[in-house]
Amino acid sequence: MESKIYSILFTTLFSIVLWLFVSFSHEYSTSVELPVKIVSIPDGYAVNEFQPKKIMFNIKGKGWQLSQFMFGFENDLEVNSQEKEGQHTASVRTSLEQNRWYSSSTQLGIVSPELVSYSLEKIKRKKIKIIHHAELSFKPGYGLVSEISIIPDSVIVFGPESKINKLEFIRTVSTKYKRLEKKVNYEVLIEVQENFQLEQELVRIEFDVQKIVDKTFEDVFVRSDGVPRSRELSLFPTKIKIVLRGGINKLGKLTDSQINASVNFRQAIEDTSGSLAPNIEVPSFTQLIDIIPKRLEYIIKQY
């Protein structure tokens, strides 16, 4: 029984191989679209622009010759670069001979377009600022409590002079981070733009995420600014309560003296209501929720 199964499998496999051999011996025609790749670029130079990016071919040949196109193998149309700076053109048909996927026995029909044009320029280096490109979402009750640090914050970029002169920044690869709840430290790739090369491709990203809470600071002193020497601005009360919202660890380390509360003498001169609203400056990544009291009574004394 087992030998019969092997015999059936062998016969089936032999039939498939024979069918493939016969089928691939026939001639076929197909249309393919291949990306253009400029190669053999001389040292110290880079390709600025080239057109078109892809070439359409109509090819006729044996099935085994066309199998690389029929079964989705990746191929490029390689075009050898000239050695001189400036604008150049290359014949697609002439360039075919240097491509390994092309055979002289293959019949070439329509080629569209027939020419590739490109610009060759000297390479220039420039230090470029890196921008973090990411989408951040946080676990409920958590939030960002620090700047997003990129280490290093810039990178040396090499590229065609005319393009690199216009380059102001370069981004990291787009990333998504969901339900964040703690400090983040990770490496991310820099997005490499066409015709550019980077001195390094990885940077480290750091930022802090904490549970967001409210905290009341009971004795924040209110400072009087801009008071002339011959005057005195007395406030009632001199200390206020401030409610801030921010990261639990950040607020835990914050003291009353780190919250800047003030009124300006000009406010008192221009006031007609009899009370002043204090100006509040809070540390970064904290949010002012409440001021108690919201307005202060005052007396102006003259000496």
Residue-wise pLDDT tens digits, 250-261: 999 999 999 999
Top CATH class, 213-302: mainly beta
What does the pLDDT look like over 137-156, one tens digit per residue?
999 999 999 999 999 999 99
Identify the pLDDT of residue 65.
Answer: 52
130 and 154 in contact (C-beta within 8 Å)? yes
- Which helix H or strand E contains 220, and what residues bound it? strand 209-225
Lowest mean pLDDT of 15-19, 121-125, 291-295, name the range: 15-19
Residue range 39-62: average pLDDT? 83
Give me the amino acid identity at 255.
Answer: T
What are the sequence ranges of the domains in the chain?
26-121, 123-210, 213-302
Give the pLDDT confidence score for residue 68 in this predicted structure: 54
List of E strands, 12-114 = 27-39, 45-51, 54-62, 77-80, 86-91, 107-112
- Please provide the CATH number assigned to the domain covering 123-210: 2.170.120.40
pTM over 0.85: no
pLDDT for the residue numbered 71? 54
Question: CB atoms < 10 A from the CB of 170, how many?
Answer: 19
**pLDDT tier, 77 (very low <50, low <70, confident <90, very high otherwise):** confident
Distances (CA, A) of 154 to 149, 167, 202, 297: 11, 13, 11, 51
pLDDT for 207 equals 95
Q: Which residue has the tokens 């989408």?
A: 135
Buried-exposed string 196-230: b where 16+ CB fall within 10 A, e elsewhere: bebeeeebebebbbbbbeebebeebebebeebeee
Residue 23 pLDDT > 50: no
Report the percentage of the chain scoring pLDDT > 90. Answer: 52
116, 92 Cβ separation under 8 angstroms: yes
pLDDT mean over 267-278: 93
Report yes or no: 56 and 77 within 8 Å, Cβ to Cβ: no
| Cβ–Cβ < 8 Å for 278, 262 | yes
Buried b (16+ CB within 10 A) or exposed e, 130-142: bebebebebeeeb
Q: What is the mean pLDDT of the chain?
A: 85
CA distance 49 to 78: 15
**24 falls in which pLDDT band (50, 70, 90)?**
very low
For tokens 């291949």, the residue is 34
| Phi, psi for 67 (deg, rounded to 5) | -60, -35
Tell which CATH architecture fits domain 26-121. Answer: Beta Complex (2.170)
